[in-house]
Structure 1
Amino acid sequence: MHYRLPHPGQGILGPAPAIYSSQPTTLPSAFSIMPPQDPTWHMDTGASSHLNFNASNLSTIFDKRLFPSVHVGDGKSIPVTNTGHSIIPSHHRPLHLHNVLVTPNIIKNLIFVRQFTRDNNCTIEFDAFGFSVKDYLTRHILLRCDSSGDLYPVTKPSTSPIAFLSTSASTWHQRLGHPGDQVLRSLVSSRFISCNKEKTSHICHACQLGKHVKLPFHSSDSIVEHRFDIIHSDLWTSLIISSSGFKYYVLFLDHFSHYL
C-alpha cells in the first residue's frame, strides 16, 4: 500500500500551515491529515500480513506482537501494537483472518490474500465488478462482494436468497455426473455440498437409459423347415408416442421367412 505525503505548502483540504515547508513531515502527522480510517476490510494481493487499525474490530486479541512494525509503500515503518484474529461471515461458513496485526496508523484494513486462501481452503476470483470467494473443492461461492471503485472492499453478505442456496439433490445429481443416492448423502454429510430443497421423488431419465442392460445374443443352431415353427418377439419403448398415445411396441419375427 503506497502513501504520498503532501507537497510543502499544500495540504489535502487547502493551503497548509507554514510548518510543512519549514520542518520535515513526520509519518504520524502525515496520517493525521489523510482521510478518516475506514473499518472495512479490503483485499490486497500486495500485503504480506492482515492489517487492522483498531483492536476492537477483532474477535480475539493477544497481548503480544508478532512484529514490532510494518513497512509501507514509501519505505517508512508504522508500529504494531497487538495481534489477534477476526472472522468474516458468509452464507455457508465463517471465513477466518488469523494473526491480524493491529497498526493504529494504517488507513485501510487490509487482507493478505495469500494467507486468506490458505487458512480458508478457498480461491478468490477478481473481476471488473468485484470479487468472489469460492470453496476450493466444491467451487461454491462463499462470498460475493461488488465494487465500483478502485479497491476491492469486503461487503456484508446479502440477506436476499441466492441461487446456489436452494440447490436440490436432483440438481447435484446432474452436476456431479449422475452418482447414486449413497454418494450424494456422503457428500452432504461431509458438507462438500448442501441440499436445501426438500427431496422429491425424481426419476433420472438419463440414468434409466444409461444403466439399461441387455443379455448377449448367443449363436443359434435351430433349424426350421416351415413358417411359424419359431417366432421371435421383443418389447421396446418408442421415443415417439403413437397417434393413439402408446409408447411401447412389440415385435414378432418369423424365424424361417424373417418376416416381421
Structure 2
Amino acid sequence: MIVALTAKNKLGFIDNSIDQPRSDDLLYGSWTRCNSMVISWILNSVTRDIADSLMYMPTAREMWIDLHDRFHESNAPRVYQIKKMLNGLQQGSMDISSYYTKLRILWDELRDYQPTSVCNCGSMREWVAYQNQECVMHFLMGLNESYAQIRAQVLMMEPLPIISKVFALVVQEERQRSIHHGVTKMSIDHSVSLNSVTSTTGPRLSKAGRGDKVVCSHCHFRNHTVDKCYKLHGYPPGHPKLKQQLSQGNAQAHQISINMQDHLNTPGDNLTQSQCKQLIEFLSSKLQIGHNLHVEPQQQEPTISCLTGICSTVSHTSSITQTDWVLDTGATHHICCSLSMFHSVRPVSSKIMLPNTLTIQVSVIGSVFLTSDLILHDVLYVPEFQFNLLSISALTNNRECSVSFTANSCQIQDIKRTKMIGTGKRLGNLYVLMKSTSYVCNASVPKSELWHLRMGHPSPSKLSSLKDILHFDSNNVDVHPCHVCHLSKQKRLPFKSNNKMVDHPFELLHIDVWGPFSQYSVDGYRFFLTIVDDHTRFTWVYLLRSKSDVSSIFPMFCRMVDTQFGAKIKSVRSDNAPELGFIDFFKELGIVHTYSCVERPQQNSVVERKHQHILNVARALMFQSHIPIGLNLKE
C-alpha cells in the first residue's frame, strides 16, 4: 500500500506530512478531493467488514492510524522464524541456484527488519563486511558434503570474498561436475553394454575369436542389434525367408483347420490358447492380403478421389439418420445414400476412392434440393454409406457462400445477399445440417401474424391501426400470444409524461447515445446516436464506432437540416454526457441546450423511449430469425 501511495505522490495524506488546510483556503478543495481518493483506495484494499467499520472516518490519516492500531504486529516472531529457517536450511536435492535463491530471500527479508543508522565516519564498512561474512558462512554450511573441497578453498581465502563471488565459484564447480558426470556415464554405459554382449554370447565369440562385434540380444547373431532384428520385427519385402515364412504359415493354418475339425467332431473339446492365437494370426494375414487385392483400381475406368474425415463414436452416430446431412470439410464431393432424395439424376460410370484406399463403384450422380436456397449439384449416389456427406469445398466452389463454425453450431451464409441459407448443430464431434423449410414466408401463417413478425413485433393496438393499409382482418390480431414479445419487451412500469410538443419541426431535438454493446458489429460499431424531432417524432439513427464520433456527426446533421429542409435548429435536449456538450458549437449557431437532471432519464423520455422501441424491435427480430448477434449488428 505504501508503494502504491508513493507512486501516486499521496503518501503525505497518511503520514501527516501534508497538513489539512483551513476551509477558507484555496487549496481546501484540492486537498478534499485527494483525501477522498486515498480513502477510496484504502476501502477497496480491505475486506467488506473492515471497510464498513472505516466508512465514517473523515480523513485518510485517521483510517491509517486505526488500521495500524488494530493490525500492527511485533516483528520479533517473524525475525525468530527467519533465523530458524536460515539455520535449518540445507541444499539437499536442490541445485546451487535454487539453494542460493532461497537463502537470498531470507537474507533480504531479515535485513528489512534490522535497524539502520546513518554513518559518515566509515565504521559502517565493518558492519557490512560482518554481514557478508555471516551470509557466506550460512551459504557454505548448508552445502552438501560433496562440495567440501570448494568449501575449504573459500574458507582459506584472505580476505573472505563477497557472497556473490562465492556463489559464482560454487556454480562453476557444479557445471564442471555435470560435464564430467555426463562423460563418465557415457563411458560406463558403453562398457556395460559391451560386457553384457560378451557375457551373453560367450561360447559363440570364443569360437570366432572376435569379441568386439555387435551382437543381437534376441537371436544372438552378430552384425545387428535388437532394434533391427528381422526375427523380432519381421522380414522386409523381397527377403527370401519372407516367402518361406508365408508358406509355413499356410501349412500351419491348414494343420490348425484340421485340428479344429477334429475338435468339432469330438464333443466337449475346446481350442487351446495357442491354437486360438495361431488362428487369429492366420485370419489377419488373409484379410490383409484380400484387401490388397481388392483395392487395385482398373485403369480403364475413371476414379473420383473422395477423402472424408468422418470419425465419431457409436453413441453419437446412432442419432444421425439417413436423411441427415453431415458437414465434412475433408470430402471433395457431396455423397447421398438415399436415391429418393435426388431431384434429378443421370447415369455415370466411375469409382470413388476412400482414405483407406478402398474403391466403391458409382453409377448415379444428380442434384438434391435441401431448401429453396440450398441446392446441391453433382451429388454422388453411394448406397453403401450410412450418412449423407455435404462437402464444404464443393459447396463453396458451386456458389458464393461462407461457412462459419462455432463450438456448438455452424452457419451457411450467401455472400451476395448476406442471407443465411442453412444452419447446423453439433452432435458429438460432427456438425449435422438442421432440417428446415425454406426461409421464405409460409402462406399458412395468418396475415395479421405475418405482419406482426415483419414489422418487428408491434403491439396489437398499433397493428390494428394499420389494418386499412395492410389489408388484413383485425379481429384475430391478439388471438395468439407471441412468445418473442415476452422475451424482447421486458421493462419497468410506465410513468406519466408531462412533455409538451412544440408547434414546428426542428424547434426542439432530443439526442442521446446508446452503448457500448457487448459485441462489435461486422463493421466495428458498438454505439448509435439517436436524434428525435419533438414535433414530427421523426427519428435519425447513426451507428458509431466510439462516442467521440458524435463530435463530427451531429454538426454534419445540423448542416444537412439547413440544406435539405431550410430550417434552423432552435433548441436541443440531452442528458449530461460529455460527448454531447457542444458548448462552442451551440453558441456559434445560437442553439439553446437544455440538460436533464443526473440519473433522471425520465426528463429525456422522448429519446429514451425511442431507444427502448429500437432495442425491442432488434431483440424481437434476433429471437425470431435465430441469427447470431454479430450478424444482426450491421448497418
**TM-score normalised to structure 1 length:** 0.51
Alignment of 1:11-26 (within 5 A): 21=283, 24=287
Q: Which string of whole-angstrom CA distances, capped at 9 and with x for unpartnered residues, describes residues 141-191 of structure 1?
A: 332221131111112138999xxx8586xxxxx9989xxxxxxxxxxxxxx
Distance apart, 1:110 and its partner CA: 0.9
Kindly indicate whether residue 38 of structure 2 is the aligned counterpart of residue 38 of structure 1.
no
Q: Does 1:146 align with 2:425?
A: yes
Distance 1:175 1:241, change over 3 A: farther
**Separation of aligned partners in 1, 2:430 and 2:522:** 34
C-alpha displacement of 1:69? 0.9
Q: Who is 2:338 aligned against?
A: 54
Quick check: 2:332–2:391 contact (8 Å CA) kept in 1? Answer: yes
Q: Secondary structure at the match of 2:367?
A: strand
Deviation at 1:209, TM superposition (A): 5.3
Out of 48, 56, 70, the residue aligned to residue 352 of structure 2 is 70
Give a deviation string over 1:45-98, Cα, whole Å, max 9, x none: 111111112221111112x21x51101121010110201101222xxx511111
Report whether the alignment pairs 1:86 with 2:432.
Answer: no
**Which of the pair is proportionally richer in strand?**
1
Q: 2 CA distance for matches of 1:131 and 1:203?
A: 36
In structure 1, C-alpha distance between the alignment counterparts of 2:437 and 2:593, rounded to whole Å: 49
CA deviation profile, 1:99-152 (whole Å, cap 9, x unmatched) = 101112122211111121232321111122121112224544332221131111
Select which of 114, 118, 122 maps to 2:401.
122
Find the residue that maps to 2:427 and give its secondary structure: coil
- 2:437 and 2:594 map into 1 onto residues whose CA distance is 45
Query: Which structure shows the bigger proportion of residues in helix conformation?
Result: 2
Aligned-pair identity in percent equals 18
Residue type at the aligned position of 1:126: F
**Separation of aligned partners in 2, 1:175 and 1:72:** 39
Matches of 2:430 and 2:324 in 1, distance apart? 11
3-state DSSP of counterpart to 1:212 = helix
Contact kept? 1:53, 1:103, Cα under 8 Å: yes
Equivalent in 583, 595, 613 of residue 240 of structure 1:
595
Q: Secondary structure at the match of 2:595?
A: coil
Q: Quick one: distance in 1 between partners of 2:370 and 2:340? A: 15
Q: Give deviations 1:27-59, integer Å, cap 9, x for gaps.
A: 8xxxxxx99972311111111111112221111
1:219-234 map, 5 Å: none
Decide whether the 8 Å contact of 2:326 with 2:433 is kept in 1: yes
Match of residue 435, structure 2, among 139, 143, 156: 156
Q: Say whether residues 1:135 and 2:414 are aligned partners.
A: yes
Partner of 1:204: 540
How many residue pairs align between the two structures? Answer: 168
Return closer, same or farther for 1:239/1:58 CA change in 2, 3 Å cut-off.
farther
Matched residue SS, 1:211: helix
Higher relative contact order (CA 8 A, sep 6+): 1
The CA RMSD measured in Å over matched residues stands at 4.4
Which amino acid in structure 2 is aligned with residue 82 of structure 1?
A: V
CA contact (8 A) 1:132 1:144 kept: yes
Question: Which of 109, 126, 130 is 2:388 aligned to?
Answer: 109
> For the residues of structure 2 that align with 1:99 and 1:77, how far apart are their CA atoms?
19
Do the aligned partners of 2:365 and 2:381 also contact (CA within 8 Å) in 1? Answer: yes
Corresponding letter in the other structure for 2:540 = C
Amino acid at match of 1:88: L
Q: Residues 119 and 129 from structure 1, CA distance in 2 versus in 1: closer, same or farther, beyond 3 angstroms?
A: same
Query: Which residue matches 1:213?
Result: 559
Report matched runs for 1:166-185 at 5 Å: none
Change (3 A) 1:127 1:240: same
Q: Secondary structure at the match of 1:56?
A: helix
By how many angstroms is 1:235 displaced? 3.7
Partners of 1:56 and 1:21 in 2: CA distance: 39
Contact between 2:344 and 2:366, CA under 8 Å: does it hold in 1? Answer: yes
Partner SS, residue 431 of structure 2: coil
For the residue of structure 1 that corresponds to 2:332, the secondary structure is coil
Alpha-carbon distance between aligned partners in 1 of 2:335 and 2:438, rounded to the nearest angstrom: 27
Identify unmatched segments of 5+ residues in structure 2.
1-279, 295-313, 442-452, 457-520, 525-536, 543-552, 563-587, 598-602, 605-635
Residue identity matched to 2:330: G
Q: Secondary structure at the match of 1:114?
A: helix
* Contact persistence 2:374–2:422 (CA under 8 A): no
Distance 1:175 1:125 in 2: 14
Distance 2:556 2:344 in 1: 54
Question: Cα 1:39–1:210, aligned 2, differ >3 Å: closer, same or farther?
Answer: same
Distance 2:376 2:438 in 1: 22
